[in-house]
Each structure stands twice: as structure tokens, then as C-alpha cells.
Structure 1
Amino acid sequence: MASQEHPTWLTAFLADTRPPPELFAWSPANIQPKFDEGIDMGSSYNDEEYDRDSCVGPSTNSDQRIYIIGPGNIGRLYATHMARHPNALPITLVVHRKELLSQWAACEGVGLADLTTGKIFLNKRFTVEWWTETRPHYGPVKEVTDGKKLQNVFISTKAEAGLSEADRIRRYLGRCSSVVFAQNGVSKLWPPHGPLYISHRYPSGDTPTFSACVVSHGVASAGPFLSIHAAPADAYIGPVFWASDPESSGKQPLDDFFIRHIASTPLVNTKQVSSGEIWLLQLEKLVMNASINPLTALLRCKTGELFTSYDSSDPLTRVIDKLLWQIGLQSATKRPQSSEKADGKVLTANLESKAIHLWSQDF
């Protein structure tokens, strides 16, 4: 009976009683044993388009190292600019396929093309690792963080994989850990399901801080380790779940070091907000994506092209106006039940079907 009251993802976690896995950190040295120079934090790639003047050398404080899990477009955006932080910390990019280690060895580093300034930022001052339960057959054998706890974790995988990635590394998470999810959708860790998951997976008094980062920047992929920052915007970061610290009962989640570090990272315009605000911002982003994505898919165009016309007689403008009107009307006349609030998939599906229906009426 109890399992029927939980969503499928939570039921699966609650039924899993296995200990967290031991993970090995593969590097390009495990693929090409003689290649170990281009990945060191002290090496870098420079050319005439690389903004060398504002690049700051990372701190040697390895205890505060940042781990970016899933360095896709959003991960590359933040990696590029966190490396340029006035108090830059060493950064490790955690890739999801072994083949990417070889690609990293052969490439010029993380590239971010900024269309606004016309600059291309290239940086190879990162460590790159692939985390797996498989022990390397050659090269150095190293456990993730040498078996210690991770402190600053930035998860920028696809939304559906985010919690699974965090769960896989829970052996290396504890009360000193700050985990930030930078993804679309609503976090699964909000009450009522989040606390159940956390109490099942972590011992009392050793719970990480979990936060969400809602990113509005438009970033597109141009190849492995290369992205285009096509539409600069802003982002918001705030806590989702935190445990009270018995040694510092007055400590607030907004005092979290990693949250403050991300909020002070240059050029990504990330604002620090409260827990309640980040919940609302996640819902707003979900509604926007659910309204816009079906239209861009139908028209096979980029998001920015939806808003190039201000003509009220334009069919596309009429569709968008109708969507906004109906969403506003529904929110004013019907208060969602708590289960509907937590189920982002239901909201997305309803809005997508409505967008397609309105589109077919006008065309």
C-alpha cells in the first residue's frame, strides 16, 4: 500500500538497500598512459582570441575543488566562468563516457563562443575524470577524491538523470557537501518526497545541502567540449534541502559557501534567492519551457525566432497570446492540488497539448 503512495522513482530508491558503490576516477592517463600533461591544473591553452587578462589562476586548496558532473552546455558555461572567478577554485569535469577522455586529450580544452562580445574562451586548466565502478587496467588507480568527501558538486546533466547521478556518488557526500542541480524542471527533493529519500539514503546528521540553479542563458552545443553562448540572460540559485548543523544552529542555507561562490561568479549573472523563491522560479521555468518548446519543435526554429514579430495579426503572435491568456485564466480560477504541484510532467503534458491545439486552430 505504501509503495502506491510514492512516485515510481522514490519507490525504486526505497527498495534499494545496497551500500553505495566505490567509484574509480579514470583520467586520460588510463586511456593513454604517456599523455598526462594537458590535463594538469597548471597547464593551459592560449591563442589570440582567449581573454588571458581576466583569467585567474585557481587556488591550490584541493579540499574546495569544484566537481562539475555532466559538462554539457550549462556545465561548460559555468566551468568557463567559474575558472575566471576572482577567487578561482580548481575544477574537475566529470564526463559520462570513457571515450570523452580521449577526446579531451586531443582537443584544445573547453571552448565557449560568446556571440555578444565575439570572443572565444578556451581553457584547458581543468582536470577531467570518468567515474565508474570498473577498476582501470592500466595507468594510475585512484578512487574518487581518494575516498574523501566531495564538498562542491555542480550537477548539470539532463534533468531526468540528475538525482540518479547524485545518488550514485552518495558514498562521497556528507554534511560538508553542497550539491547544486542546474537543470530544467522541478527538483524531486522538495517535500514531501525529498525528505523521505534523504532519510533513507543518508544517516542522521550527515546530510548534504541540496540546491537548485534555474538558468535562463541560451547555450547551444557546437561539438565535444565546445558551446555557443547565444543568448546571455540570468540565473537564480537557492537551497532546496538542508540539515541543521548541530555545531552552528544559527547557520542559514544562504550562508552555504558554494552557493555564494556561484552567485559571485562573473558574467553568468546568478542571483542568490531563498528556498521559496527558487521553488516558484522552477515552476515558472517549467511553464515557459512547456509553452515554448512545442512551438519551436513545430516550427523547427530557435526560441528567439518566436518573438521577432510584434504584429497582433501574426498567427504565431495570436497563438502565444492565447497561451498566455489561458494559463493566466486557469491560475486565477483553479488552485492546483499539492500532488499536481509536485508533478511537473502532468503540467508539461497539459500545456504542450494545449499549445499544439491552439496552433492547429490558427493554421
Structure 2
Amino acid sequence: MATATSEDRLWMTAALALARRGLGRVSPNPAVGCVVVAAGRAIGRGWTQPGGRPHAETEALRRAGPAARGATAYISLEPCSHHGKTPPCTDALIESGIKRCVISCEDPDPRVSGRGIAALQQAGIDVEVGLCADTARELNRGFFLNKLTGRPLVSLKLATSLDGRIALASGESKWITGEAARARAHLLRASHDAILVGGGTALADNPRLDVRLPGLDARSPVRVVMDRRLQLPVEHDLVAQARIRPTLLFTAKQHDEAVLAGYRESGVEVVACEGADDDSRFPEVVLKALAERGLTRLLLEGGAGTATSFLRAGLVDRLEWFRAPMLIGADGLPGTGRLELESLVQAPVFRREALEPLGEDLLERYRREAA
């Protein structure tokens, strides 16, 4: 785009901040933010609403009202140009009478890609594309991965000692990290569409896999269990509460249909997968199925075997590593298993993006380096 002014950057940064409010709540849609500006003042703000509708642009224009005529709209992703469950956002922008539209990046959805920009330009609106594009693409990386590769973004969350242990040899792990770190982990859950554990972890820890922060209960993600051997009993809390919290169970195909029916009767969506018996294929099969259901952001919470299977398959995009200031030693249980590397060149490499102190603990956030 043409050289951006400091004012342009200010308003696009605001649009991106608004977009982040939708993470974990808007799938299968992207999380988008929009700010309508006139005479140096924001006259309308909007972000994608829960469930993906209304869209950010229509929300911002609704708040701006007639004052939008002649204004500039800053949008974190190319506006949609196709008829879906709502009319195209390009139509709303054109009808509003805005004079200029600054768009951070193109939408990878083939129904939109480039068409939204072209529609605005054909209507005589001055369109500029590319401001804060890298930030916008990273914010909606799950949506981009879903559209371009057929899988969601995968974030691996670990809570360990300084030496990478998640528990004592006895299995004792409550609590390695403190209250501030645990609350932050719940906030992390709220920004993802789904949360996944292995069958062994589900059986051993009896996790609720929900968000337990004041006012955020409704943001609890879809619960996913990878359990090829069906270790999870029908009486387990994750099964018993499946009608309250959407729950998916991925398992192997060889189980008797009468056994699977018990889970389904409790409200669990059971997915019997080809490839579940193959450690190298199971994660990919699960991710493909989740993407087909419109999910764009998946949080892995354990255990070590499940984390390792995704790392081996090269399917972890981000690390959310909570580290406590203690040492457990080599007899403790590690956060990950054997990656069976023959050379350091094969090691997955992540770039640290942030350090966040949480009381005595530390959250280290990493992004996978492109191959």
C-alpha cells in the first residue's frame, strides 16, 4: 500500500485489537475488527460477534450511522463479497458512502480472495491493502490454515518445572504452577475453539476442560479426546457432561458399535477413524476432521504422549509454556516423550515471541519457525 501515516497505523492497530476479542468465539469465521474514522475520530467500532455473525464491518457501520459517509474504514481482513447467512460486507461498506478503505490483508477463502477488494474499487472507493499484514495474518492464522491446508492452528500448552517435568514419578502434579498461571491458562482456553487431551490423561486427571474465570464460562471450548483404545469409561465426567459441553471422541474403527452407542447416547460425538492405530497418522486425521467442522484454533493440554505425537508429525504451531521456579529431577515425568531425532537439523525449532511473568511463574510463548 502507499506509505502509511502514523494515524493509519494507530487505527489499524485498534482494529486488530478489536479482532482479538473474537478469538475462540467466531469459528468457522475469522476474527475481524473494524474502525470507522472521520475527522480524526472513531465514529464506529465493530468486531466479529459470537458464532461469526454479525460481521465486524456491519457492526462498526451500524454504530457510525449516517456519519460514515465520506469516512475511512480500517478493517483487519478483506471484507466478504459473497452471499452467505448474511449479505456481503462489501455491499454494506459501499452503501454507507465511505470514501476510503484500509485493509490489512486479503482473505484466503476462495469465495472472497481479492473479490472484496475489487468490488470496493469498482464502486469508486479508495482501497489500500497491506498495513500490518503480518500481524493480521498471524492473528487469524488458524483461519488461514483451515482454508489453505485443511487443518486448524495447534497450540501446545505445557505447565512444567524448570527442567521440563510435569509431575513427580508418583504422578503428583498439583500444583506445579501457581494461581496466576492457572488463571492465565483458563484465559488461553477461552481464546481457542477446542481443547484436546489423550485418553490416558482424561482417565488419570479427570479434567473438566472448561473455562473457570468469572464471566467467561460461556467461552469454554469444544472438548476433544483422542482415545484409540476407549480407556474413557461411559461414566466419566467428560462423557456424563457431554450434553452440556460439546464433546468429541476420536477412536479406532475396530470397536463394537454397541459400545460406541453408549457414548453417543450420552451426547458424545464419536468419530471412529481410519488411521487411529498409526501414531504418525492419527493427529493429522483428527485435525482434518476438526477443520471440516469449522474449528480453526485447537489447544493441546496433554498428556506427554499426545503432545509428542503432534510434535513428531510437525503439527504444533505454537508453544504456550508455563514454567515454575522448581526442579523435579530426571525421575519426574517429562512434558514430552521421545522425538527420535537422528540429527539436530530435524529438531522442531520455535521462535520466542513473548515472556509474561505470572507471580513466581513465567509464561513463555513461542511460534514455530517455517520449514
Common fold: TM-score over 0.5 = no
Higher strand share: 2
TM-score (norm 2): 0.28
TM-score (norm 1): 0.29
